[in-house]
Amino acid sequence: MANSKFEYVKNFEQPDNLLLNTWIVVRIDGRGFTKFSSKYGFEKPNDRRALDLMNAAAQAVMYEIPEITIAYGISDEYSFVFHKSCTLFERRSSKLVTTIVSTFSSYYIHLWSTYFPDTPLSPPLPSFDGRAVCYPSVQNLRDYMSWRQVDCHINNLYNTTFWALIQKGGMGNLEAEELLKGTYAADKNEILFSKFGINYNNEPEIYKKGSVLFRGYELVDPATHNAAAEADSLAEPVQQSKNQTESDKKRRAKARIVIEHLDIIKDEFWDRRPWLLS
């Protein structure tokens, strides 16, 4: 752009590039979804259509932004993970967060009628907030993912019991809340089984475990893998060659993104898919 006397205002911009060589997690969350879910009559505790819509929007985001390696969703939130070597938007936080938030929101609204064909959207329209957090080690990243999945489990066990007491037990909200105060997981399992014949273990995996999205293929070849491991041991940033980056980009753009409801706390999930964290 041509120089002008106004151009100095550009200098007021603050840099917000995220720390190099760290795993970037962008978490988005539906704004006011307690109200939103009641406006559109989401089934309680879990509306399957709403979860499928969240997953479809997240999948579309991953197709549009190939730099995302894995995503995990529960309720009205989704976490998107960028590889520590990612250089998208020069790792500028505001660019990464706003692009994900707006791409996700657009698809959520675009796909709404597929999942809720009988209830058209009307203002206030669904919107999402977002933030970016850097995790310096694979352990920190895995602990982050575990934190979200534990949250899913705790909330779902509580909500399943709470809504069983109301829907099947005829209790009022306050009464159910009172009864559950101070109870442990074992107590809730017991209430579900003895009062309602529900074995929590048999509840759908999507409700108990949330949804994990990733590309179902081997991302890097063994040579790059070893180079990355070596660079790691020297605590230096991983740098791929330009050609490698280009060919990775192409393969990523083509890869199928799968939606699973698996345990991401135990090692097995990661051990079986070494490309996700390499």
Q: Which residues bind ligand ATP (CB under 6 A)?
A: 29-34, 37, 42, 44, 46-47, 50-51, 75-76
CB of 129 to Mg ion, least distance (A): 6
- The answer to whether residue 47 forms part of the interface with Mg ion (CB under 5 A) is no
| Residue 240 φ/ψ, nearest 5 degrees | -95, 155
CB distance 45 to 162 below 8 Å: yes
- The answer to whether residue 248 forms part of the interface with Mg ion (CB under 5 A) is no
CB of 239 to Mg ion, least distance (A): 28
C-alpha dihedral (215, 221, 224, 226), degrees to nearest 10: 110
Tokens of 261: 């409801």
Question: How far apart are the C-alpha atoms of 38 and 23, rounded to whole Å?
Answer: 36
Question: How far apart are the C-alpha atoms of 153 and 162, rounded to whole Å?
Answer: 14
Question: Of 73 and 276, which has the nearer Cβ to ligand ATP?
Answer: 73
Residue 160 interaction partner, one of Mg ion, ligand ATP, none, beta carbon < 5-8 Å per kind: none
CB atoms within 10 A of CB 27: 21
Question: Of 1 and 223, which has the nearer Cβ to ligand ATP?
Answer: 1
CB of 155 to ligand ATP, least distance (A): 8
First to last CA, the chain: 41
Question: Of 66 and 126, which has the nearer Cβ to Mg ion?
Answer: 126
- The answer to whether residue 29 forms part of the interface with Mg ion (CB under 5 A) is yes
- The answer to whether residue 33 forms part of the interface with Mg ion (CB under 5 A) is yes
Tokens of 255: 């890869």
Q: Site residues (CB under 5 A) for Mg ion?
A: 29-30, 33, 75-77
